[in-house]
Amino acid sequence: MTNHVTIVGAGPAGSMLSILLARQGLSVSMYESRPDMRTTDIGAGRSINLALATRGIEALAEVGVMSEVERILIPMMGRLIHDETGRTSMQPYGSRPHEYINSVSRTALTSILLDAAEATGQVDIHFDMRCRGVDFDGGTLRFIDSTSGDESRVPFTTIFGTDGSASPVREALLEVNGGNVDIEPLTHGYKELTMPADSKGGFQIEKEALHIWPRRDFMLIALPDLVGTFTVTLFLANEGPIDSFEHLTSDGEVLGFFEKHFADFAPLVPDLANQFTDHPHGRLATVRTTGWAHADRAVVLGDASHGVVPFHGQGMNAAFESCIVLDGCMRNNPNDWATAFAKFEQDRKPDTDAIADMAVANYVEMSSSVVDEHYQLKRAVALELDHLWPEQFTPRYAMVMFNTIPYAEVQRRAILQGEVLDRLTEGLTDIDEVDWVTAEEMVVGLDFNQVSKKGA
Ligand SMILES: Cc1cc2nc3c(=O)[nH]c(=O)nc-3n(C[C@H](O)[C@H](O)[C@H](O)COP(=O)(O)OP(=O)(O)OC[C@H]3O[C@@H](n4cnc5c(N)ncnc54)[C@H](O)[C@@H]3O)c2cc1C
């Protein structure tokens, strides 16, 4: 086997993978289209901060960086819901001390991984190098240097494509392996805004929460940053006659929209209209791929093979988990990477397909269900069932965010548990009306016939 490999894309997945590959004793060349984010202010790219949960944390611990990462995390204990009248209510994410998620800066987290990669002494990183294509027959990658404009060809033996949802490595791979990519655009896009710190540098709204202004067809969310600001994201239809990005073209329309739907939020961002005009309108899509690998020559992972919409806060967490799964497949087949890569797709694709579905479904939960009284009753009952029969029942959100149960298994369990919750709460308005004897029969009768629960 070769002991030199090439990674294209030094985002979260590439930077984590480079450490794992170095630990296998490989020497790694990693190419990244953008400048070095540790020395150049390049903006965070797609989202300034992210929710980090158990799957991501376990992977970060595995590569030995969690003690540093912990210093840049802000815990978010639950969803803080802002209704149309400005009233707020807190919905805790779970009932156990470890059941919270964390806000983390994308730049700071990736920088820690890049430092750790370089500290192995086996990873050299080439910034400003945009991959333009792969020649599998000739064994070369084509790059353009974004500072000089020079084109070059770089020989490779094995490529790891972690170059994001528009991956050129994936495109080249699918041409030679006959695989397929399905990119399913969402009708909604997003725009990020910054809520400034208050005059003393503190947070203007509750710090340790993920804030949501759910308005059914659109919503605003806000995650805290270490410096007292919040990164706010508006999710809104791309097109449509009213309440769409297409429709919000003038300062007056923007301010009118925010004052009408987010009256408590609008005054907290004095330069709202300017930010709205200046900041890009991002598009969202689910990426599903078949054919993740070409023999032992190339494999794609992270958003390049399985991009999800951000409504479950899992894209990066899933990408990190994929790195660990791929590393395991390679370690189990050290002399046969073709088998390792094929096994990786076979084992992992059902899970990444499942989180893709659950991420789309979670939009409805975040933007509408959280203010629905029956949803809140079901949620309260779910938490109680988890409390009473923790071995049998775990709320879906907790299975995704605070466990490492494979996503496909989570999806299967969630369907069965959903049926239990529907039946137990049918026609009820209060948790005191629940028939707990029937509840026990139903919950104990749940047969998952599968992996045991694993707490965070
Ligand atoms: C608005 C929004 C909010 C999100 N929130 C969350 C969240 O809360 N939690 C979560 O877990 N996930 C979240 N995600 C998803 C998360 O951002 C992605 O899943 C994650 O970044 C995937 O990592 P990656 O390394 O696979 O891809 P990317 O982050 O896209 O990294 C790819 C890297 O490759 C580089 N690259 C691209 N093309 C080339 C090329 N041709 N040549 C060389 N280099 C190239 C890029 O510059 C980049 O550095 C969110 C996404 C969005 C859009």
Given this model, what pLDDT does residue 239 score?
96
Distance 46 CA to ligand 1 centre (A): 7
Q: Show which of 233, 252, 283 is a domain's final residue.
A: 283
Task: Give me the domain span that covers residue 413.
Answer: 372-444
**Which residue did the predictor score with more confidence, 247 or 456?**
247
- Say how many Å lie between the CA of residue 9 and the centre of ligand 1: 9
- Best probe residue, ligand 1, of 19, 33, 160 (max atoms within 8 Å of C-beta): 33
pTM: 0.96
* Tens-digit pLDDT profile for residues 256-300: 999 999 999 999 999 999 999 999 999 999 999 999 999 999 999
Give the confidence band of 455 by pLDDT, cuts at 50, 70, 90.
very low
**Quick one: pLDDT at residue 95?**
84
Which of 51-65, 163-177, 363-377 is least confident?
363-377
Domain CATH for 292: 3.50.50.60
Give me the number of domains the chain comprises: 3
* Chain length of the chain: 456
Is 277 in the same domain as 194?
Answer: yes
Residue whose CA is at the smallest distance from ligand 1 atom 26: 302
Q: Is 161 in the pocket of ligand 1 (CB under 6 A)?
A: no
Of the residues 251, 283, 315, the one at which a domain ends = 283
Measured on CA atoms in the order 84, 88, 89, 92, is the torsion positive or negative?
Answer: positive
**311 and 396 belong to one structural domain:** no
pLDDT digits (tens, 9 = 90+) for 5-18: 999 999 999 999 99
Residue 452 lies in a domain: no
Protein residue closest via CA to atom 37 of ligand 1? 163
Give yes or no for residue 37 CB within 6 A of ligand 1.
Answer: no
% pLDDT > 90, the chain: 92
- 65-77 exposure pattern, b = at least 16 Cβ within 10 A, e = fewer: beebbeebbbebb
> pLDDT grade, residue 165 (50/70/90)?
very high
Regarding the beta carbon of 424 and ligand 1, being less than 6 Å apart is answered no
Phi, psi values for residue 33, rounded to 5°: -70, -25
Residue 44 has pLDDT above 60, yes or no: no
Q: Which of 296, 329, 362 is the last residue of a domain?
A: 362
Q: State pLDDT tens for residues 83-105.
A: 999 999 999 998 899 999 999 99
Does residue 225 belong to any structural domain of this protein?
yes
Look at residue 448 and tell me whether its pLDDT is greater than 80. no
CA 285 remoteness from chain centre: 13
Is the pLDDT at 330 greater than 90? The verdict is: yes
Structure tokens, 423: 């039946």
Cβ(47) – ligand 1 distance below 6 Å: yes
Q: Is the pLDDT of residue 1 over 60?
A: yes
> Tens digits of per-residue pLDDT, 123-143?
999 999 999 999 999 999 999
Contact (CB, 8 A) for 355 and 287: no
Indicate the residue type of 162: T
Residue 130 Cα to chain centre, angstroms? 24
Cα separation, 59 vs 80, whole angstroms: 28
Phi, psi of 449 (to 5 degrees): 50, 45
Q: How far apart are CA 313 and CA 180, in angstroms?
A: 26
Give yes or no: residues 293 and 437 share one domain.
no
| pLDDT the model gives residue 369 | 86
- How far apart, in whole angstroms, are the C-alpha atoms of residue 456 and residue 438? 30
